[in-house]
Amino acid sequence: MQITDETIDYVGILAKLSLSSEEKEQAKKDMSEMLDYVGKLNELDVSGVEPMSHSFPISNVMREDVVTNEDDRENMLKNAPERSEDSYIVPHTFD
């Protein structure tokens, strides 16, 4: 695929890059090579290949959601700098 100067200028604007003329020529060459490689990949017959999201088999391992701690409110409130009955007292965020 042929990459034009307009394409490089447009990509430079999108990427917010200021490219010199030498950098533009190098970018044109690099983009052409990348698109040629993608073109080669498009020639492959992948009709029998199943799509996948990972290169190795992966599945979620779910466990039963079981409560392991009891109501330990009194023990937790022991660390509170200030408390009111069964609640923490915190500083005001705004007046």
| pLDDT at position 88 | 86
Domain presence at residue 35: yes
Look up the domain containing 21 and give its range: 5-42
Q: Please state, for a pLDDT cut of 90, what percent of the chain lies above it.
A: 35
Q: Model's pTM, two decimal places? A: 0.48
Confidence of residue 29 (pLDDT cuts 50, 70, 90): very high
Strand-pairing partners, residue 87, are 84
Domains identified in the chain, total number: 1
Q: What pLDDT is recorded for position 31?
A: 93
The owner of tokens 């950098």 is 23
Tell me, yes or no, whether 29 lies in a domain. Answer: yes
For residue 30, being part of any structural domain is answered with yes
Q: In this structure, what CATH number is given to the domain that contains residue 16?
A: 1.10.20
- Residue 12 falls within a domain, yes or no? yes
Give the three-class secondary structure for 52: coil
Residue 67 lies inside a defined structural domain of this protein: no
User: Does residue 14 lie in a domain region?
Assistant: yes
Model pLDDT, residue 1: 67
What kind and span of H or E run contains 23? helix 21-42
Does residue 26 or residue 87 have the better pLDDT?
Answer: 26
pLDDT tens string 8-23: 999 999 999 999 999 9
Torsion 20-21-23-24 (CA) sign: positive
The answer as to whether 16 is a domain residue is: yes
8 A C-beta contact, residue 29 and residue 4 = no
pLDDT tens for 32-43 read 999 999 999 888
CA 36, 39, 40, 41 dihedral sign is: positive
Spatial distance between the Cα atoms of 80 and 75, rounded to a whole number of angstroms: 10
Tell me how far apart the alpha carbons of residues 22 and 13 are, in angstroms, rounded to a whole number: 17
